[in-house]
Amino acid sequence: MTQNLTTKIQKLFSEVSLKVRCVFIPMFCMAVSALTAATKDNLLDNPGLEEPSGGQKVENWELVQTQGRLVQCSVDEETCHSGRRAVVLEAAEAVAGNYGEWRPSSLPRLEAGKTYRFAVWTKGSHLEGRPPYLEVYSFDKDGEPRLIAQAQTKLGDFDWKRIVCNFNVPKDSDRIRLGAGLSGGTGKVWFDDFWLGDAQGDQGPVDFGEKLTTKKF
Ligand SMILES: [Ca+2]
């Protein structure tokens, strides 16, 4: 009798265990796979600017500045949107043509004719003159650049907001260049948590920039 009961209990545990394996393990795998897919949707490397930790270098991002360096550009390890780091640009005087800009140093090949979104979280302090911006350039096979999309933040002071810039990859595009910068304006602007991907796949908020349409240039 006791042996029968033991056998029944063992069988019950075995069935429960089988159901757990059949139901919960695939669910767990699907959840992990969805999370991985969501991460992969961002085509940029090091979008949160966390690597390497410490110092002024930012893996996969390059800083481009006009000579004279009137725009101060650095890594901020105190004020950031996520993690421990953001980049910051600051200008005390507005000089036409003077700029500082952060650009991804490498991008995957983007599909011609497709609409992508370039986005970033940004924070502003005492911004005057020309607002900070996101810009997208397309280069043809001869290396000729063309501005194909642009979005701007507002002026003054604002806490972390998300700015987006939608763009269509032209048929004659050989490569795309993305940039986030400050040019001809004064004040201080931070950028953190960049994003690049299919414009339809972006789930983030749109505080600055155009939600669906792409500005024609
Ligand atoms: Ca960060």
- The tens-digit pLDDT sequence of the chain (217 residues) is 445 555 565 665 455 555 545 454 455 445 444 444 444 589 999 999 999 988 889 999 999 998 777 899 999 999 999 999 999 999 998 888 889 999 999 999 999 999 999 999 999 999 999 999 999 999 999 999 999 999 999 999 999 999 999 999 999 999 999 999 999 999 999 999 999 999 989 989 999 998 665 555 5
**C-alpha of residue 194 to centroid of ligand 1, in Å:** 9
pLDDT computed for residue 67 by the predictor = 76
Q: Are 49 and 75 in contact (CB under 8 A)?
A: yes
Residue with tokens 């991460």: 39
* CA distances from residue 145 to 83, 139, 153 in whole angstroms, order as listed: 34, 4, 23
**C-alpha of residue 131 to centroid of ligand 1, in Å:** 22
Domain boundaries, the chain: 1-40, 61-201
**C-alpha of residue 159 to centroid of ligand 1, in Å:** 15
**C-alpha of residue 132 to centroid of ligand 1, in Å:** 19
Q: Distance between CA 19 and CA 203 in Å, rounded?
A: 35
Domain 61-201 matching CATH 2.60.120.260: the answer reads: yes
pLDDT computed for residue 55 by the predictor = 85
Q: Distance between CA 199 and CA 143 in Å, rounded?
A: 26
**C-alpha of residue 22 to centroid of ligand 1, in Å:** 39
**C-alpha of residue 215 to centroid of ligand 1, in Å:** 29
